[in-house]
């Protein structure tokens, strides 16, 4: 069976990836900070889908704990076929209203961890001539919305480069750019979650992402409304777009 490693796997998009990949017959390595919740999710996946599930308790902000996940990805004796860099981090306030420590922590999770884990995974994958990486980015990457958007723009740029760089060595890299999705993410930020047409179902999102990944696409932007938004950002001046940055923060 192929093995997938998913960060931020106990809730939201990461949990949905774990479930969908288990249905496909993937053994799993699940990474999250909450050990009790990890064990609970792992137990359900083993029972429901008959797959092997390994758990790694790690806070990706902590260098030593991030290094543990890197070491697992580099383990040639237990190869990881798919890395899903999903661990999330969001800040409700604007840049100067956040403590700099929170801003740095967000950068560590959304950029440094993606960089280091991708580096750890791509080495063995290119040696084998097979494998894949899905980096969970955001439609915010196309918009001027402060440091969160800046981190996701980095994820997009890095993923597009890596997709072209390693395709010839049998490795697929894709950036997934969700819009607003019905998960715990906004609740943890103490932001009101909506239910209108702009809010995507998480199972639809992950199913579409995996379908796009199977097709070798560099970007997955689930939902016609978000494809339209991504396209329009190329036509609308950045200063005008910046006026919309409060959307999703209330």
β-bridge partners, 56: 31
Is 249's pLDDT higher than 50? no
What is residue 232's predicted lDDT score, i.e. its pLDDT? 74
Mean pLDDT of 23-43: 97
Pair 21, 6: CB distance under 8 Å: yes
pTM for the structure as a whole? 0.89
Is 239's pLDDT higher than 80? no
Poorest-pLDDT segment among 46-60, 85-99, 233-247: 233-247
What is residue 223's predicted lDDT score, i.e. its pLDDT? 85
Q: What are the tens digits of pLDDT across the range 115-158?
A: 999 999 999 999 999 999 999 999 999 987 789 999 999 999 99
As a whole number of angstroms, the distance between CA 76 and CA 64 comes to 20
**Residue 51, Cβ neighbours under 10 Å: how many?**
21
Domain layout of the chain by residue ranges: 3-242
Question: CB-hemisphere CA count at 13 Å for 80?
Answer: 30
For the question of residue 148 being annotated catalytic, the response is: yes
Model confidence at 238, pLDDT cuts 50, 70, 90, reads low
What is residue 117's predicted lDDT score, i.e. its pLDDT? 98
Q: What are the tens digits of pLDDT across the range 164-203?
A: 999 999 999 999 999 887 865 545 544 454 566 577 899 9
Give me the percent of the chain exceeding a pLDDT of 90. Answer: 75
β-bridge partners, 32: 57
What's the CATH number for 3-242?
3.40.50.720
What is residue 233's predicted lDDT score, i.e. its pLDDT? 67
As a whole number of angstroms, the distance between CA 64 and CA 242 comes to 37
What is residue 248's predicted lDDT score, i.e. its pLDDT? 46
From 148, 166, 219, 226, active-site residue: 148
- Per 3-state DSSP, what percentage of the chain is helix, strand, and coil (rounded to 5)? 50, 15, 35
Mean pLDDT of the chain: 90
């Amino acid at each position: 069976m192929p093995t997938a490693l998913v960060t931020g796997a106990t809730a939201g998009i990461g949990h949905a990836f774990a479930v969908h990949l288990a249905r496909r017959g993937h053994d799993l390595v699940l990474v999250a900070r909450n050990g009790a919740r990890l064990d609970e999710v792992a137990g359900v996946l083993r029972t429901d889908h008959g797959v092997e599930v390994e758990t790694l308790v790690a806070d990706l902000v902590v260098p030593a704990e991030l290094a543990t996940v890197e070491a697992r990805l580099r383990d040639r004796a237990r190869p990881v076929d798919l890395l899903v860099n999903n661990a999330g981090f969001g800040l409700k306030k604007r840049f100067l209203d956040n403590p700099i420590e929170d801003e740095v922590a967000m950068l560590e999770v959304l950029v440094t961890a993606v960089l280091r884990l991708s580096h750890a995974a791509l080495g063995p994958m290119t040696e084998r001539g097979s494998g894949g990486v899905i980096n969970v980015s955001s439609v915010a990457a196309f918009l001027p919305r402060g440091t969160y958007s800046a981190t996701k723009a980095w994820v997009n740029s890095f993923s597009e480069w890596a997709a072209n760089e390693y395709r010839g060595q049998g490795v697929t890299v894709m950036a997934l750019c969700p819009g607003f999705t019905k998960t715990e993410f906004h609740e943890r930020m103490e932001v009101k979650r909506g239910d209108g047409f702009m809010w995507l179902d998480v199972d639809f999102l992950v199913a579409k992402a995996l379908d796009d990944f199977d097709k070798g696409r560099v970007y997955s932007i689930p939902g016609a409304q978000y494809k339209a938004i991504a396209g329009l950002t190329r036509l609308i001046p950045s200063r005008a777009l910046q006026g919309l940055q409060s959307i999703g923060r209330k």
